[in-house]
Amino acid sequence: MNRFLPYLKYLRGHRTYLVFALLCGAISGLVFGRGLPVVINDVFPRIFTAGARSLPTLQVVGYAMLIPAVFFIRAVCGFLNNYLMSRCGIGVLESLRVELYAKLQHLPLSYFGRNRTGDLLSRLTADTLVVQQTITSSASDLVIQPLTLVGAISFLATIALQHEGVLIFLGSLAIIPVCVLPVRYVGKQLLKRADENQRLLGDISDLASQNLIAAREVRAFGLEAKEVDLFRATTRRLFHVQMKVVKYSQVLSPTIEVIASLGIAFSLYYAYRTGITLAVFTSILTALFACYEPVKKLGALHGQFTRGAASLNRIEEILHEPVAITDPAQPVAVPGRLRGDLAFEGVDFAYVPGEPVLRGIRVALPAGTVCALVGPSGAGKTTFANLVPRFYEVTAGRVTVDGHDVRSLRLADLRRNIAVVSQDPVLFNDTIYQNLLLGRAGATREEVLAAAVDAHADDFIRTLPNGYETVVGERGSLLSGGQKQRVALARAFLRNAPILILDEATSALDSQSEQLIQEALRKLVVGKTVLIIAHRFSTIRDASRILVFDRGQIVATGNPAELYASNPLYKGLYDRQAG
């Protein structure tokens, strides 16, 4: 229970509903635990004793209606308790998911490289739902069930004192602590299975996510049967684990009932030996039932806590993950637009400690430099560019913009002055217009349309069924590669940032699309500091400077003619592409 106390804060915004729900739950518990045995103890003797036949019919009906009255009050209060607690629970679920989602937005890109997307989605959906159910169930049952138990025990104590049946009272209750033993055993077993259950749910979510994203590749390589077999095997493992969870969850209730029946059997035997009347014995049985029912439900609640703890562990791995890239305590003020002077001063970087990707990088790029990054795959070109917007943090040295260490600037100020156009741009499942607005949220419609014209995107957008209001589909699936690339370029035009990063923006395009985008790029780079991550040499002919990377170091710098004449690596790369 202590594990969940910090998360009760999510109930604060629903305080009124929570208090009223708990009040209704308390009434329901007390009415059932004490009210029903009292009614039975008072009503039965009046109806079944000698002379009861002479009672007026209306009075008998009144006595009889006391029992449904108790159940009516319990039903109404129970309904209000469940309804209002459900409202609080949905609010808890909303708050927890939003906090988890917000944390994911601030974690570094390296975190997503270490964790599977499907598993993170499972934690965001399935695990948060389990935690929400645990919090709301505990908030309700930890009030209702103890009060039901208190009400029933207080009635048993009263009966024992009135009828000199102290032993029957003590004997009936002495067996209740025995119920704790199966609760503890089942709880330990459930913790193991619940953790494995949530992990396998994450595996299934990840498998499904990968399959749906790669639908074309699955069909192209004939992987349908293999994918189904893999999914079937994973779901079969989940089936076995879930059945174990069901086994341990469901075995608890009948076990407690069997133990409780031993207490009732003892009460029956003692009642026979001491001559207790039927009315008194019936009311005692009712109170005993009211005692054992809360014990059974509290045992089930222990199982819920166990399953919730397994999900909470997975959620807390995200919530407690340190955010390594944050705003400085006293950021340097950036009143307007940066110039775009870049410098790398003794920069080292490693994704994994002890395995450097960049080593001793020293280079200065004045504002307005169009710089191409050339080298074999894995040489560190993309990593070099990603350090400018602080997608990753340097291991040693520093990266500066206009003389300011990027770590001394607010992330929003730094990234507002940088535009990125990647090799495979991501469009959100929204309209083209809304995707363009991502470049600059406050842009006017005229500015958005002008950016589309500059990127040679306006012509094809107007041919679409709904023009700028056309929904592009998930990841822009309804557009061609060239169309997506032009939308991404239009966003860069709209952003008009002094620093531009181009991650081989034309490598996967046909010749016509490449020509249009090259024309747009020549206009886009004017007056900006540009980093072009080049895989094809046709894209760097406008570069004023080239940096040649090899195994994490800059091994040469210069213009194309100088490097072809002086650097064997550059010459070899160029000649292989030129044939």
Amino acid 109: pLDDT: 80
The CATH number given to whatever domain includes residue 191 is: 1.20.1560.10
Average pLDDT over residues 367-395: 90
- Do 351 and 474 reside in the same domain of the chain? yes
Three-state secondary structure call for residue 362: strand
Q: Are residues 358 and 291 in the same domain?
A: no
Average pLDDT over residues 351-362: 89
Per-residue pLDDT, 361: 93
Is 80 exceeded by the pLDDT of residue 518? no
Does any domain span residue 330?
no
Neighbours of 309 (CB within 10 A): 20
Confidence of residue 394 (pLDDT cuts 50, 70, 90): very high
pLDDT score, position 256: 67
Q: Compute the distance between CA of residue 121 and CA of residue 119 in angstroms, rounded to an integer.
A: 5
Answer yes or no: are the C-beta atoms of 44 and 282 closer than 8 Å: yes
Report how many domains make up the chain: 2
Residue 335 lies in a domain: no
Cα distance between the two ends of the chain: 69
| Residue whose pair of structure tokens reads 């879930």 in the numeric block | 242
- The answer to whether 210 and 118 have CB atoms below 8 angstroms apart is yes
Residue 324 forms part of a structural domain: no
Q: What's the token pair of residue 515? A: 């020509």
Q: Is 267 part of a structural domain of the chain?
A: yes
Indicate whether 288 and 158 sit together in one domain: yes
In the structure, what pLDDT confidence band is assigned to residue 77 with cuts at 50, 70 and 90?
confident
DSSP single-letter state for residue 558: E
Do residues 402 and 506 share a domain?
Answer: yes
Instruction: Calculate mean pLDDT across residues 540-568.
Output: 87
The Cα–Cα gap between 471 and 469 comes to 6
Does some domain include residue 506? yes
User: Which range among 150-154, 191-195, 236-240 has the greatest average pLDDT?
Assistant: 236-240
Distance, in Å, from the CA atom of 549 to the CA atom of 263, rounded to the nearest integer, reads: 81
Q: Looking at residue 350, which CATH number applies to its domain?
A: 3.40.50.300
Q: Which of 69-78, 264-273, 351-360 has the highest mean pLDDT?
A: 351-360
Alpha-carbon distance 152 to 157, whole Å?
9
- 19: nearest Cα among 10, 29, 11, 28: 11
Determine what percent of the chain is predicted with pLDDT higher than 90: 13
- Summarize the confidence of residues 379-383 as an average pLDDT: 90
From 284, 319, 354, give the residue that closes a domain.
319
247 and 281 both lie in a single domain: yes
4 lies in some domain: no
Task: Based on the fold, state whether residues 198 and 267 are members of the same structural domain.
Answer: yes
Q: What is the pLDDT of residue 3?
A: 64
> 3-class DSSP state for residue 426?
coil
Please name the residue that has the structure tokens 């960049």. 358
pLDDT given for residue 373 in this prediction? 92
Residue 574 lies in a domain: yes
- Please report, rounded to a whole number, the percentage of residues in the chain having pLDDT higher than 70: 78
Is the pLDDT higher at 182 or at 89?
Answer: 89
DSSP string, 266-296: HHHHHHHHHT--HHHHHHHHHHHHHHHHHHH
The answer to whether residues 22 and 163 belong to one domain is yes
**β-pairing, 499-503 with 404-405?**
unpaired
Do 295 and 243 fall within a single domain?
Answer: yes
pLDDT at 50 over 60: no
554: Cα separation from own chain's centroid: 40
Three-class SS state of 2: helix
Q: What is the pLDDT of residue 180?
A: 61
Q: What gap in Å lies between CA 225 and CA 116, rounded to an integer?
A: 23
**Exposed / middle / buried, residue 245 (Cβ in 10 Å: 0-12, 13-18, 19+):** buried
* Range(s) of the domain holding residue 390: 342-578
Domain identity same for 306 and 357: no
What are the start-end ranges of the E strands in 293-416? 342-352, 355-365, 370-374, 396-401, 404-405
Domain boundary among 288, 319, 350: 319
What is the side-by-side order of every strand in the sheet holding 355-365? 355-365, 342-352, 396-401, 404-405
pLDDT of 57: 72
Q: Are residues 263 and 386 in the same domain?
A: no
Domain finish residue from 259, 284, 319:
319
Using DSSP, state whether 337 is helix, strand or coil.
Answer: coil
Give pLDDT, residue 92: 80
**Which of 137, 52, 34, 48 has its CA nearest to residue 86?**
137
In a domain, 326, yes or no: no
> Is residue 295 located within the same domain as residue 358?
no
Question: In whole angstroms, what separates CA 4 from the centre of its chain?
Answer: 17
> Has residue 578 got a pLDDT over 70?
no
CA distance 47 to 414: 85
| 68 plus 102 within the same structural domain | yes
